[in-house]
A and B are shown apart, each in its own frame.
Chain A
Amino acid sequence: MKRSHRAVHRALWPVLAVAVALGFALALDLRVPPDDPPATEAKTP
């Protein structure tokens, strides 16, 4: 890889990684509790 590609790679990775990790953590935290019947289960595979 060229130096410029490595620079983009190094800049892109942490931003994406933090965004995805935050998104995942939030999605896990906001999951509907297991006792509640999931409202959307019936309409989507």
Chain B
Amino acid sequence: MSVGFRAVQWNRDKLVYDGLLLAAVALYITVFLVVVPRLEPPKDVLGEIDLRIRAFGSATFLMLTAILAVGPLTRLNRRYLPLLYNRRHFGVLIFFVAITHVWFMIDWYLMQDALPSLGTELTTWPDYGKFIGFPFKVLGLAALLVLFVMAATSHDFWLSFLTPAVWKALHMGLYVAYGLVVMHVSLGAMQFNRTPFLPLMLVGGFATVSVLHVLAARRERVIDQGTTVGTDGWLLVGTPQSIPDQGARIVAAPGGERIAVFRDGTRIGALTNLCAHQNGPIGEGRIIDGCVTCPWHGFQYRLEDGRAPAPFTEKLGTYRVRLRAGAVEVDPRPLPPGTPAAIDCKA
């Protein structure tokens, strides 16, 4: 959290995250540039540039696959939450790896004084009517544009300016970029390179991302189906003991937004499941130092009233809770953000 503007807020965890990320990318590129020439020695300088194009291109695809796997992985297992912590830096790095791929492609043309032929490739309009023979570089450039927009708006300034809901919707463009990259490789490199490596990489990456999303969606759908609603519209949560201590149970009215019902010892409070920072799933977080803590980036709120502890000013919508016949119930009509609503279930 921050009470003032800072270009980038570094901390030890972010430095470790970025360091490991950079090391992994550097290792991949180095291994690629050392191993592949032994299998297919480049014939000339153009062959060497082509090797770099492939190294950075395949790195971009694998990084996109990895970043798209992070979301569902964290849903399926909390152990993967550290991967999500600095995901935005991961995204920005993907943009830089992708633009390096493009730079080597331009270099390939420059080496032959043939840059205009790149323009010709992109503006041979009849080719846009073909499937095999489609100007596949356009698909790559479109993906690069999406990655640029996402990298350019990755800062908290844009998150605040656009609002978390709009920002989140904008950043779903990553799925479009991924689809464009798969088709860029399918209609490009895969047509000229006969090794089974490229189809296997595409199928493996795409299948991994798809299966993880399907598994996570099946798990999430259960919550959205809604919980038991009483005659007066209150939702049944369960006994106080059914809520993990210093954790939460997530409930929702059919067709309604999710509500995180937390228990801290004998105190029970209900907050919106949307963190004020990035709409992260606050109900998947824990109570740390007496505050509800978002699992994504550690934003904290008091259980009592959903307000961030001073000097921070974020506040969440709260919900009325009650204990009836030994069971906790929650009123799905939200109270204004920051309204005290927690109860004690000692009795």
Contact = CB atoms under 8 A, between A and B. Distances in A.
Nearest to A19: B179
B24 to A, nearest CB: 25
A40 B121 CA distance: 11
Given A3-B256, A45-B53, A32 B217 contact: no
Contacts of A30: 131-132
Interface residues on B, range: 35 or more
A3 B191 CA distance: 41
B315 interface: no
B213 A32 contact: no
Given A24-B186, A38-B191, A43-B117, A12 B175 contact: yes
B179 A6 contact: no
B190 A28 contact: yes
Nearest to A40: B192
Interface SS of chain A:
helix
Interface string A3-42: 1011011101100110111011011101110100010110
Interface stretch (B8-16, B164-172, B238-246, B329-337): B164-172
Contact of B172 (A9, A17, A24, A32): A9
B257 interface: yes
Contacts of B169: 5, 8
A19 to B, nearest CB: 7
A1 to B, nearest CB: 6
Interface in B171-203: 172, 175-176, 179, 182-183, 186-188, 190-192, 194, 199, 202-203
Contacts of B183: 20, 23-24, 27
A3 to B, nearest CB: 5
Contacts of A17: 206, 210
14 contacts: A2-B279, A6-B224, A9-B172, A12-B172, A24-B182, A24-B183, A24-B202, A26-B131, A31-B190, A40-B133, A40-B192, A43-B117, A45-B53, A45-B105
